[in-house]
Structure 1
C-alpha cells in the first residue's frame, strides 16, 4: 500500500522561535502553538511577558544616562578648555650662593616677631612688557629672597586675626596681587606652591570670565581657592577704570569721583554717587561669596598709585566712609601718612603696602620690606644710621643735622627727618634724649619731635633762650631758658601724656584728648635758620629707650 504524503503549501510554513530556538511552524497550527507558549514557560525571558515594559524602561534609562554622561563629559571638556588655561611648567630662577648670603644678611637683626608687611604684586607673565608684570623667574627670585631672609607668608585670615588684636606673628609678609590676572594661575600658582607660600588676590569681579585670556576665570579661581594657597578679596566689581567727571571732559576714578551724566548734562548728586558705589562694592562681595568663598574683609583701592589716590587714602573722604561700611581694612600703595600694618593702621582701617614692580630687584624689595618691619623703641645712637632717616629733608641731605651743612646760599633754611617712620608706627612708652648745640645768638632753632605722623604729633622747639611745646603744630606750653648755645632735651612719651625736660630742669607737659591708639609714633628731628649763611644747629648723642612707666606720667 502506498504511503500517502499530505502536501502543504510552502507558503503556509514559517520559521518561528517559541523559546527553544527557531523551528518550522505551519500557519494553521501557529496560533495554537503560540497560545501554549506561556503555559510551557516560553516567552518569560528578558523582554517578554509581563517583564517586558519594566525591562525596556530600565534599558532605555541606562542608555539615556550613558548618553547624558557622555554629553556632560563632553560639555565639561569644552568648558574646561574655554575657562581653564593650561598651567605652564614650573620655572626655576638662577640663584647664586652670593645671592643667598646677601639675602640672609638682610634679615639679620630684624625682630623674630613683628607685625606683617604687606606687598603688592600685579601680574606674573612670561611675555608681558608691562612695568607691572614680573617674569616667572623674577617672581621665583623674589619669593626665594623673602624665604632666605626669614619671612613666612600669611593667609588673609591670619593677617586679619592680627589686625583684629590677635598675637603678633613671626616675621612675615602678606603677598597681595591686584586685579586677578590669568598669569597668577598659569605661572604664579606653581611657584607659590614650590615655596609653600600663600597669596591673596584682589579681584575686579566683573572682569572675571571676560577679556580672555588677560583675566582669571571663576573656574580657575575656584580651583585656586580649593588648593588652600589663595584667598580672594575685593578690588571693586567694575570701578577699575576712569570715567568723565565734568563737562570739560576731565576723567577720574569712579570710586572717588562723582561722575558726569552726559545725557542729563550734570554731575551725579552725592546720593547718586553713594548709591552707585555701594551697589558696586556690594556686588563684588556677592560675586565672591556666590562662588563658594568667604565674604571679603579687605579692599584694595583701584589706582592707589594713580588717579584719585589723594582721595582714596584720605581718612576724611566720602569714599573711605563708604568702604568702611563693607570692609574693615583698606589697602593702598601710597598714603599721605606711613601706615604699614600695625595696631595704629588697624585702628585707622588703612594699610600701606610695598609695591613690587618688574624692575624691582630682590635686594631692593628686601630693603624696602626691612624698613617697614616694626622695631622696638630701643635704639642707641640712631644719628649714625643715616640710611634709616626718612621723611622730608628739603634737599639738604642728612649732614645738615650733624654739623655738615652746605655753605651754598641756595641751601634751604629748614630741614626735617623722621627716624624709621614706617617701622615706628606703634611706638609708645618710650623716652628720647638729644643734645642740641651751636644755637648761636638766637637766629637758629632746632626741635625734637615724638608721636610722628599720629593724630597729634608733639614737638619740643628750643632756641638759645626759649623752649616751646607744640601739639600738632599749635603751641600748648612755653618756658624761658638760661641763654646757652647748647641744650639737652628729654621727652617722655606715654599713652596720652607727653612730658619734656630741658637741661633737666624746665618741664613742659601736655595730655592729649585723642584716642591713645591713634597717638603712637616715632621720633623726628627738625632744624632751621633765619637767614642764609647762619650757623645750623647740631644734633649730638640722640638715644631712644623704653620707659618703665609706660603712662609717661610723673
Structure 2
C-alpha cells in the first residue's frame, strides 16, 4: 500500500473481485428471493397420519334412525385440523368419527358432477347421499382431511379462493397440493371467488360489508359504485377465478359458494342490482351454494329453480350423533309418509319460542303470554320444501267473528297461499313476486267449528269447508317448483280480546 493510503497495484485485482461478487449477489438476490417464494407457494407439506381407527361394530341407534331420502344433503365444512380456537375447524378425530357415522348409516358421497346431474334431472345414483363441500381451500384439507377421506372411501369438493392459493402459508393450500388432491380422485375443485372473500367500506361512514354482494364506496369520488360498475368488478373477479383453474389444469368450476354465505336481501344492491348479480352468476355457474337462505332451499326442484342450494353447516362442536339428527331433519319426506303431524311437536318450527308451548297454543293445550296475539308454526319446512301435490284435512274449533285460524300451503315458496277461516267467513290469499291477491270471501254457516279440506296441485289450491263451500285459486306460473312447499298453521286473537276469550285451535289434522 502506498503512503497516501491508496491500494497498491497488487491489491487492485482482489478489490475488483470482491466488488464483482457483491454486484453478482445484489443482482441475484431478487431472483433468489423470488425463487424461494415460488417454491414456498408450490410446496407440498407432509401429510399427517389419520387418527387411530375406531373399533368398528354394529351401527348405532342414531345411524339406524336416519331415513333414506331420494335427495342428497349438502354438508358445509371449512377446515380440518388441531386448531381449537376456531369454531369452523373440525378436529381430525371428530371428522373421522363423522364420516364413520355417515358410512355406518349407509351414506355415500357424491362428486360435483353427480350433484349437478341431480340438480338438472332430479335423480340421484342412490338413496342416502351427501355432498361434502369445504370452503376457502385451507391447508388442513391436504394435511389432515385427505387421509380420512381415503380411509372411508369418500369424496369431497373444495371451494377455492383462487387468489389466495399458495399465500399465507401454511393456512392455504398450494397449487402443488391441489394437483395431488385432484389426481387422487377423491377431490374436485369449485369456485369461491378470486379475491372477493373480504369486506370493505360501503358508505361514507365507513360501514363495511362483503365486497361480492355490495356496491363499494368510492372514497375519492364520494359516491357508491353504480350497478354497472359493480357488475364489471364482480365479472372480472369471476373471470380471474376461472382463468386460474384453467392455468392449473383444473376443469372449469360448475358451482359457486357465496363468501360469508351472503344474502342479497341484506346487501345494498337494490332490486335491479340483485337481478343483475343473479344473472351474472347464472352465466358462469350451474348453481350457487349458501349456508344462509331467506327461505329453505335444500337440494331439489325448488333450489334448482332458484339457482341456489342451501347447505348444512358442520362446526367444531358438531358431534356425529348431532350430524345424523340434522341430516334426518333435512331428509325429504313424502306426503304419504305423514299422517297426523299434530302428534309430533318436534317436527314443527314455531314462531313464539319453545316448540311444545307454541304447538300447544295451536292445539289448545296451552295459552301464550298475555302480549302474544298471533302464533304460527311450519311443519318440517326443509323436508317438505319440494311438495307440489297433497291434501290436508283439518278441523278448527273455538272460532269467533274476528278470531280465526290460518292454513298456509306452498309455504316458504315464491307463491304461498293462505286460507283464513273464522266463525262466519273464509277466504284465500295468494302471495307472489308481483304482490298479493285475495279471492272472494265465502259466507259460512255460523259455527265455532268448521271442517276444512285443502287440496294442493301444481295447477291450483282448492278448498272445501264443511263439505259445501268451495274456494279456488289457480296458479299463474308454469314451473311447479316455484310453488313447491309444505304447510304451516296459525291462530290468533284480535287486540281487543280479553283474557277470558279462548284461543281458536286445531283439533284434527291429517295429510293425504
Q: Is the TM value for this pair above 0.5?
A: yes
- Cα deviation for residue 95 of structure 1 reads 6.5
| Matching of residue 120 in structure 1 with residue 76 in structure 2 | yes
Tell me which of 45, 49, 53 is aligned to 1:85.
Answer: 45
Tell me which of 476, 483, 490 is aligned to 2:446.
Answer: 483
- Cα deviation for residue 267 of structure 1 reads 2.4
Question: Equivalent residues in 2 for 1:100-249 (5 A)?
Answer: 100-107=59-66, 110-111=67-68, 113-169=69-125, 170-249=127-206
**For residue 253 of structure 2, what is the aligned residue in structure 1?**
296
Residues 493/313 of structure 1: CA separation in 2 closer, same or farther (3 Å cut): farther
**For residue 285 of structure 1, what is the aligned residue in structure 2?**
242
How far apart, in 2, do the equivalents of 1:80 and 1:212 lie?
Answer: 8
- Cα deviation for residue 313 of structure 1 reads 12
Residues 315/430 of structure 1: CA separation in 2 closer, same or farther (3 Å cut): farther
How far apart, in 2, do the equivalents of 1:186 and 1:387 lie?
Answer: 40
Question: Equivalent residues in 2 for 1:311-460 (5 A)?
Answer: 311=267, 317=274, 318-378=276-336, 379-390=338-349, 392-393=351-352, 397-406=358-367, 408-410=369-371, 412-439=372-399, 441-460=400-419
Residues 298/175 of structure 1: CA separation in 2 closer, same or farther (3 Å cut): same
- Cα deviation for residue 82 of structure 1 reads 5.5
- Cα deviation for residue 359 of structure 1 reads 1.4
Q: Are 1:253 and 1:308, in contact at CA under 8 Å, matched by a contact in 2?
A: no
| Matching of residue 535 in structure 1 with residue 496 in structure 2 | no
Helix, strand or coil at the partner of 2:440: strand
How far apart, in 2, do the equivalents of 1:151 and 1:402 lie?
Answer: 37
1:423-471 deviation line (CA, Å, top 9, x unaligned): 11111121111111122x4241002221111121111111011111111
How far apart, in 2, do the equivalents of 1:429 and 1:508 lie?
Answer: 17
How far apart, in 1, do the equivalents of 2:42 and 2:176 lie?
Answer: 10
| Matching of residue 492 in structure 1 with residue 455 in structure 2 | yes
**For residue 18 of structure 2, what is the aligned residue in structure 1?**
none
1:134-169 deviation line (CA, Å, top 9, x unaligned): 110011111112222222110000000010115234
How far apart, in 1, do the equivalents of 2:165 and 2:268 lie?
Answer: 24
| Matching of residue 506 in structure 1 with residue 469 in structure 2 | yes
How far apart, in 2, do the equivalents of 1:87 and 1:448 lie?
Answer: 56
Any stretches of 5+ residues in structure 1 without a counterpart? 1-74, 546-554
- Cα deviation for residue 368 of structure 1 reads 1.5
1:9-57 deviation line (CA, Å, top 9, x unaligned): xxxxxxxxxxxxxxxxxxxxxxxxxxxxxxxxxxxxxxxxxxxxxxxxx
Q: Are 1:179 and 1:201, in contact at CA under 8 Å, matched by a contact in 2?
A: yes
Return the structure number with greater relative CO, CA threshold 8 A, min gap 6.
Answer: 2
How far apart, in 1, do the equivalents of 2:181 and 2:307 lie?
Answer: 28
**For residue 27 of structure 1, what is the aligned residue in structure 2?**
none
Helix, strand or coil at the partner of 1:364: helix
Q: CA RMSD in A?
A: 2.3
Residues 404/183 of structure 1: CA separation in 2 closer, same or farther (3 Å cut): same
TM-score (norm 1): 0.79
How far apart, in 1, do the equivalents of 2:424 and 2:165 lie?
Answer: 66
How far apart, in 2, do the equivalents of 1:514 and 1:308 lie?
Answer: 24
| Matching of residue 256 in structure 1 with residue 256 in structure 2 | no
Tell me which of 460, 485, 488 is aligned to 1:521.
Answer: 485
How far apart, in 2, do the equivalents of 1:221 and 1:313 lie?
Answer: 35
Helix, strand or coil at the partner of 2:284: coil
TM-score (norm 2): 0.86
Question: Equivalent residues in 2 for 1:45-60 (5 A)?
Answer: none
Helix, strand or coil at the partner of 2:259: coil
Q: Are 2:80 and 2:91, in contact at CA under 8 Å, matched by a contact in 1?
A: yes
- Cα deviation for residue 295 of structure 1 reads 0.8
Residues 217/157 of structure 1: CA separation in 2 closer, same or farther (3 Å cut): same
- Cα deviation for residue 126 of structure 1 reads 1.6
Any stretches of 5+ residues in structure 2 without a counterpart? 1-34
Q: Are 1:118 and 1:175, in contact at CA under 8 Å, matched by a contact in 2?
A: yes
Bigger Rg over Cα: 1
How far apart, in 2, do the equivalents of 1:120 and 1:481 lie?
Answer: 50
